[in-house]
């Protein structure tokens, strides 16, 4: 499902002294089956932006179009809001705080049940999702509050992907996880993407952006700075310096090699393996 924003503005606490304009004239299209990364300084409006996609926040002006379902400021009571939310799954920052059921399995099947799936089917879907996120069957009947932080995170994510959303939004899903857990999590999202889901992910980790992203969206102070392929972000030194974005290590290395006579195209460098491949190619030409 493509997600299109046009002339979108969002103001928090409108018409009060605390009024704050969090998004300013956003025009953006997120393509179907892309892995779109959203980056930007803290407070730049990333979380605010993604909450417009499933109508948790309603635009102050402008529209969001999710595959034909249009959300704009005139919609007081959105009729197809349930349909919209079924198609768009949103995993919040620190989603482990939304767990509440007695058992892990019950918590994960809570979502499907809300959308009218019967008990048996919901449990089936929940088991499937839990397997996907790598939660062992022995934990299914445990209380979610007895799990470790990382396990809780997985269960919470399973609670959203069990709905099989067409668009999966992730707000800093790897924050606070160990490197190993973080890598596994990213692998999981790639797997979900391969099943045809559009993934939108907010992150501060540029290594993940370059490694997994097909597109990157840069926000600053509520404005859309640019949308491009991840490597393009690092072509122009000045622009990303001013956005205080860190260069991924592999890009840094590739650039250094290029300064020393190599001709590596940054486009192909996404991780160490691909960098090695590029260097090998170069060797062959020599």
Partner 1 sequence: MNNITLGKYVPYNSFVHRLDPRYKIFAMILLMVCIFLKFASIWMNFIIYGVLAIIIFSIMISSHVKILALFKQLKMMWFMILFILVINVLVPGDESLGYFQITSNWKIYFSAIYNTLYVAIRLVLMLGLSMVLTATTTPLQLTGALEWYMYPLKFIRFPVHEVAMMISLALRFIPTILEETDRIMKAQASRGVDFQRGKLKEKLRAIISLIIPLFVSAFQRSDDLANAMEARGYNPQAKRTRYRVNKWHLRDSFSMFFILLILGGLITLIVTKFDLVAWIMSICA
Candidates 40-48, 63-71, 110-118, 227-235 — which segment interacts with Mg ion by CB under 5 A? 40-48
Cα separation of 226 and 216, whole Å? 8
Taking CB under 5 A as the criterion, which residues in 42-81 touch Mg ion? 47
**What is the smallest separation between the CB atom of 22 and partner 1, expressed in angstroms?**
15
Selection from Mg ion, partner 1, ligand ATP, none that 98 binds (CB < 5 to 8 A by kind) is partner 1
Piece of the chain touching ligand ATP by CB under 6 A; list 35-43, 138-146, 181-189, 240-248: 35-43
Of 7, 14, 20, 145, the one binding ligand ATP (CB under 6 A) is: 20
Which one among 16, 42, 138, 259 touches ligand ATP, defined by CB under 6 A?
42
Q: Residue 97 touches which of Mg ion, partner 1, ligand ATP, none (CB < 5 to 8 A by kind)?
A: partner 1
Q: Minimum distance from CB of 74 to ligand ATP (Å)? A: 22
Query: Angle CA(143)–CA(146)–CA(148) in degrees, nearest 5?
Result: 130
**Residue 247 Cβ, how far from ligand ATP at the closest point, in Å?**
19
Evaluated on CA atoms 235, 238, 242, 247, the torsion sign reads positive
Structural tokens at position 85: 């939310």
Which of 36, 47, 109, 174 is close enough to bind ligand ATP by CB under 6 A?
Answer: 47
Q: What is the secondary structure of 22-79 as a DSSP string?
A: EEEEEEEEE-TT-EEEEEESTTSSHHHHHHHHTTSS--SEEEEEETTEEEETT-SS-T
Q: Check: CB of residue 5 under 8 Å from CB of residue 62.
A: yes
With residues binned 3-state (H G I as helix, E B as strand, rest as coil), the percentages for the chain, rounded to 5, are 45, 20, 35
Q: Choosing among partner 1, Mg ion, ligand ATP, none, which partner's interface includes residue 115 (Cβ < 5 to 8 Å by kind)? A: partner 1
């Amino acid at each position: 499902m493509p997600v299109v924003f046009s002339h979108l503005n969002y103001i928090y606490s409108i018409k009060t002294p605390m009024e704050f304009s969090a998004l300013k004239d956003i025009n953006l299209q997120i393509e179907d089956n892309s892995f779109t990364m959203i980056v930007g300084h803290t407070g730049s409006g990333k979380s605010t932006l993604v909450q417009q996609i499933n109508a948790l926040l309603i635009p102050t002006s402008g529209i969001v179009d999710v595959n034909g379902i249009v959300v704009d400021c005139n919609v007081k009571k959105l009729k197809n809001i349930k349909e919209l939310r079924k198609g768009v799954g949103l995993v919040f920052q620190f989603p482990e705080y939304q767990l509440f059921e007695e058992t892990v399995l019950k918590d994960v099947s809570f979502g499907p049940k809300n959308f009218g799936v019967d008990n048996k089917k919901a449990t089936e879907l929940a088991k499937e999702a839990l397997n996907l996120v790598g939660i062992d069957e022995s934990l299914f009947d445990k209380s979610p509050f007895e799990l470790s932080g990382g396990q809780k995170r997985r269960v919470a994510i399973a609670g959203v992907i069990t709905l099989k959303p067409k668009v999966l939004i992730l707000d800093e899903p790897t924050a606070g996880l160990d490197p190993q857990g973080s890598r596994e999590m990213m692998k999981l999202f790639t797997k979900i993407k391969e099943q045809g889901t559009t993934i939108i992910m907010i992150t501060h980790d540029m290594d993940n952006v370059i490694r997994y992203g097909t597109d990157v969206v840069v926000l600053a102070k509520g404005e859309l700075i640019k949308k491009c392929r991840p490597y393009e972000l690092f072509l122009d030194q000045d622009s990303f310096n001013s956005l205080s974005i860190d260069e991924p290590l592999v890009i840094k290395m590739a650039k250094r090699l290029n300064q020393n006579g190599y001709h590596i195209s940054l486009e192909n460098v996404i991780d160490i393996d691909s960098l090695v491949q590029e260097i090998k190619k170069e060797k062959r030409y020599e």
